[in-house]
Amino acid sequence: MKVVLQLRSLLAASFLLSASGWTQGPAQVAGDKIFARPTLLPFSIKVADADAASLRRDPRKAVPAAIRVGSNEFARVALHLKGGAGSVRPLDGKPSFTMNFAKLQSGQRFFGLRKIHLNNSIQDPTYLCEDLAGELFRRGGVPAPRTAWATVEFNGRKLGLFVLKEGFAKEFLRLHFADADGNLYDGGSTHREITEPLELDSGDGPRQHEDLQALARAAQAGPGARWAELQRTLDVERFASFMALEVLANHIDGYSAMQNNYRIYFDPASQRAVFLPHGMDRMFYEPTAPLEPYTKALVAGAFVGTTEGRAWYQRRVAELAATVFQPEWMTNRIHERVRLLEATEPLVAREAQPLLGRIIARAAFAHRTTRPQPGK
């Protein structure tokens, strides 16, 4: 059995044959070669001694790295360490990485992508939550990055298994929006509200946070005007889905509950804000957690503080519980990925068992709670 599983991993890595020379054509979608099916890729990262010392001193400052993935080599990739309060690790531990393939070498792409992350999954021993939650949000109509997996070697030191995650770059935006030139803001992982000057990741929109300020004013409007103002500045349908999925999947470290782990994209086509989930490595932990909305965040509290917004939320929770939060596809997805990963990290199979149980129990609770009662 072990030989068969190792063969599966090697077959998954065979998707590397043309990565460095990949060019996007009319029928190609950036990243599809690694995200269309479960994939495990072998990464070898090398940096100069002086650059390794720089990463130890200033982990967020990018340094040039040479990266080999299978038979493909990428020169001068901008690399820095990443991670929030619970997952950040130093260079000499098991750090997470962000890689920008185009920053130092114009036009360079990784399977059509300019930016990816390698996450250490310290807070998720299954290595599966980000993948499952991302697919859940996408099925629910909320854009979320795609995932694969990687084994990583850094300057000759084997670091083990990582979650490979698509970056919030132009390729991601083009996949989900007709116009990818709107402002994309980073909500970060330090509990920052939209009233703060969030970092602008990309975009050709207003440069002084005017779009964020307009959304904040809408959320702070009086009861009589608030819903109309939110409809003008916020994609209310997607936000109802976003809030509902955060609750269904127990994303207690996301925007609605903690003003954390989110992005906001201002779609030029609609001139409205779309919230995007991030940092979904701690999910599906409490099967019987109430389905009441998280309301700590400004926009979340303002949204369900209106009669119309609360009705939108309640309707979407029930709809998503009935049509998207379905244990059959979710458990099948987990089993498929365990088969890929367990030869590399045997603990994945063991850790996945309680996750499977919690998902089945959560789905049953959600269906039971949202099912219309006789006579009502």
Q: What is the pLDDT of residue 375?
A: 60
Q: What is the pLDDT of residue 206?
A: 82
Mean pLDDT of 115-130: 97
CA distances from 124 to 183, 210, 224, 305, 371 (A): 31, 37, 44, 33, 31
Q: Does pLDDT of 132 surpass 70?
A: yes
Measured CA distances, 191 to 22, 84, 255, 348 (Å):
38, 11, 8, 30
pLDDT at 3 (0 to 100): 35
What's the confidence (pLDDT) of residue 289? 98
Please, where are the H alpha helices in the chain? 2-13, 32-35, 49-57, 129-139, 170-176, 210-219, 223-233, 236-248, 255-258, 298-304, 307-323, 327-341, 347-370
Q: Would you say residue 303 has pLDDT above 50?
A: yes
Q: Stretch 325-346: mean pLDDT, rounded?
A: 97
pLDDT (mean) for 34-59: 97
pLDDT in the model for residue 26: 41
The pLDDT mean for the chain works out to: 91
| pLDDT attached to residue 376 | 55
Task: Give the model's pLDDT for residue 16.
Answer: 41
Model confidence at 310, pLDDT cuts 50, 70, 90, reads: very high
With a pLDDT cut of 70, the percent of the chain lying above it is 91
User: What are the pLDDT digits (tens) for 82-117?
Assistant: 987 677 888 989 999 999 999 999 999 999 999 999
The confidence score (pLDDT) of residue 28 equals 76
Q: pLDDT value at position 298? A: 98
Length of the chain measured in residues: 376
- pLDDT-based confidence at residue 211 (cuts at 50, 70, 90): very high
DSSP 16-74: GTTSTT----TT--TTHHHHSS--EEEEEEE--HHHHHHHHH-TTS-EEEEEEETTEEE
pLDDT at residue 6 greater than cutoff 70? no
- Above 80 in pLDDT, residue 2? no
Phi, psi of 169 (to 5 degrees): -115, -175
Rounded-to-integer distance, Cα 132 and Cα 303, Å: 27
Per residue in 216-273, pLDDT (tens digit) is: 999 999 999 999 999 999 999 999 999 999 999 999 999 999 999 999 999 999 999 9
